Every structure is written in C-alpha cells, then in structure tokens.
Structure 1
Amino acid sequence: MAAEFQVTIDCADPAGLSEFWAQVLGYRLLDPPPGFDTWEAALVAFGVPEARRNDASGIIDPAGRGPKLFFQKVPEGKSVKNRLHLDVRAAPGLQGDARMNALEVEGERLVGLGATRLTRIEPAPPLEGGHIVMADPEGNEFCLD
C-alpha cells in the first residue's frame, strides 16, 4: 500500500507562514469545511476561542502532485539548524550560469515575500550544480536548487 504524507512545520504564525509558502510554491490554502465560506466562520461556529484561531494552517498543491504542508503553532522558537529542509526546485534542467541566474531571480522574488538569503554555493561539477540557501520568515532554512 502506498502511503500519503504531509510535511508538518512547527512555527509561531501558522497563517503567515502558510501564506508565504503558498506563494513560494504556487500552492493554495486548504478550503474551509463544507458549509463554511471561510475558516474564520468555521472556527467561530466550532467555538474555537479567538486566541486559538491561528494554531494551524495548511496548504496544498492545486495540481495534486506535491505533498500537503501543515503549519502548527508551537510555544518555542527555532533554536538550531533544521535537520530536514525543503528544496525549492527553481532551475530544473539548467546548468552553469543559466542555472545560477535563474536561482538569483527566484531568490530576489522570495526575498520580496519575506525570505532571507543566507549563502550561495557555487557550482562544482560533477557533483554540485550550485544552489542558494535561504530562510523563510521564521528562520527555517531551505535551498533554491
């Protein structure tokens, strides 16, 4: 049996981080439950206190190819380097200067969305095609690959 999976990210602001990653990946927010036009309306109807309405958020690939990303609020902040990170494939099939130029363009777009550029790793063929290490608005590292 093939298993489905989602990527769960601990964070301080699930709504904000899910919106950031939806824009990065071309995903969309999960639809509210049937019978509700918005998540806010559903949470109010379910009796969720206002202070808890940003405890979780999820996004999905509209094409159904990529995994669901689920963001959950945790009390502690990020304190060390990620043991697992996402690679955003921004230059598939490109090599050399064309690859790095495409990564630079995408990196600038993501900085405009709230990401931070951390470092650029230059191509070193045959094993390293080059990539840019970034961080999302809460400091979670990811690579533009």
Structure 2
Amino acid sequence: MADFFQLVVDCREPSSMVTFWQPLLGYDVPSPPAPHETWRSWYLSVGVPAEEIEGDGTDRLVPPDGRGVALWFQPVPEPKLIKNRLHLDLRVTGGRTEPRQRRRAAIQTAVDEVLDRGGALIRWTEDEPADHVAALMADPEGNEFCLV
C-alpha cells in the first residue's frame, strides 16, 4: 500500500491558496527540490510548460512535524461549480469538553480570521440537542470547509 498520500485541491491560483491556507493550518511551505531555488524552476526542469505555472510555482503545504496530510493545490482552468464531495473540518475549539457558547465564540474568532483572509461564511450550524456548533466556510475559490 501507499507510504505517502496528499490531499489535492483543484484551483485556479495555487500560490493564493497556499497564502490563504498556510496560517489557518499552521503548515509549512516546503522548499523545492535541490538545486532549484523556486518551484517554478523545478517544474520547468521536469518539463512543465511555463504557461502552466502560476507565479513562482508555490503550490503545496506540508505539516510542520511531518505527521498529517500534505496538500497540493493543483492548477486547473475551470472554476469550482458545485459543492465539494470532500471537505476539511478545522477544530478551533476544545470540542464538547467546552460549553457550546464558548465554542461558538472561539469559532466566531476563527470566522473573523477567515473573512479577513478573503474567505466567506456560508452558514452557521447550531444543534442544541446534539450539542453541536459549526461554521461552514469557503476559501477564496469557493472550496467549503468547516470550523468546529
């Protein structure tokens, strides 16, 4: 079986997606393979046409401790048109060990950060009997994710 996997996100502007997601996830932007100084240089060296490389070619994030799922923002020509079939849940609270109102306040703080970074709030979900609260968000290209 695989000894490595990554989550691939189709997008129009990979470097913008890296800039949006990096602080939210606390991930690192990896250096390109030596001896290349930029990902663009590396992509050109492996035969990717220059017109297919956006900016300096930065298009990926990796977990800082090497544990977790790497993300690659794959450039595609078409915009996102329908709801994601897969999305990330970002836990920004202590979970159900905290009172629901405290969780909502923590999620609101994260919502404000996402909005400041160019994301959008799609809707709040609150289910008092299930003790659940979450915010459904979208990144700048419309990919959905939840703050829980």
Same fold (TM over 0.5): yes
Question: Which residue among 75, 86, 89 is the counterpart of 1:87?
Answer: 89
1:64 alignment partner in structure 2:
66
User: Deviation digits for residues 8-27 of structure 1, max 9, x if unmatched?
Assistant: 11111111112211121011
Check whether the contact 2:40–2:58 (CA below 8 A) recurs between aligned residues.
no
Deviations 1:39-59 (A, max 9, x none): 234345556443222277111
Number of residues of Structure 1 aligned to a counterpart in Structure 2: 144
**Structure 2: stretches of 5+ with no match in the other structure:** none
- Counterpart residue identity of residue 120, structure 2: T
Could you state the TM-score of these two structures normalised by the residue count of structure 2?
0.85
TM-score normalised to structure 1 length: 0.87
Give the 3-state SS of the residue equivalent to 1:130 in structure 2: strand
The alignment partner of 2:59 has SS state of: strand
2-side partners of 1:112 and 1:64: how far apart? 28
What letter matches 1:131 in structure 2? Answer: A
Q: 1:49 to 1:4 in 2, by over 3 A?
A: closer
Query: Could you tell me whether the CA contact under 8 Å between 1:9 and 1:70 is conserved in 2?
Result: yes
1:28 alignment partner, SS class: coil
For 1:56 and 1:75, the matched residues in 2 are separated by 17
RMSD: 2.1
- Tell me the equivalent position of 1:132: 135
Shift of 1:95: 3.0
Q: Distance in 2 between matches of 1:87 and 1:36?
A: 34
Q: From the superposition, tell whether residues 131 and 6 of structure 1 become closer, same or farther in structure 2 (CA, over 3 Å).
A: same
CA distance, structure 1, for counterparts of residue 65 and residue 142 of structure 2: 28
SS in 2 for 1:103: helix
1:10 alignment partner in structure 2: 10
**Is 1:111 the equivalent of 2:115?**
yes
Equivalent pair of 2:28/2:61 in contact (CA under 8 Å): yes
Provide the residue aligned with 1:73 in structure 2.
Answer: 75
Larger mean CA deviation between 83-92 and 54-63 belongs to 54-63
Q: CA deviation at 1:116?
A: 0.4
Give distance in 2, aligned partners of 1:110 and 1:103. Answer: 10
Identity of aligned residues (%): 38
Change (3 A) 1:2 1:71: closer
Which stretches in structure 1 are left out of the alignment for 5+ residues? Answer: none
CA distance in 2: counterparts of 1:53 and 1:77, whole angstroms: 17
Which one-letter code corresponds to 1:87 in the other structure? Answer: D
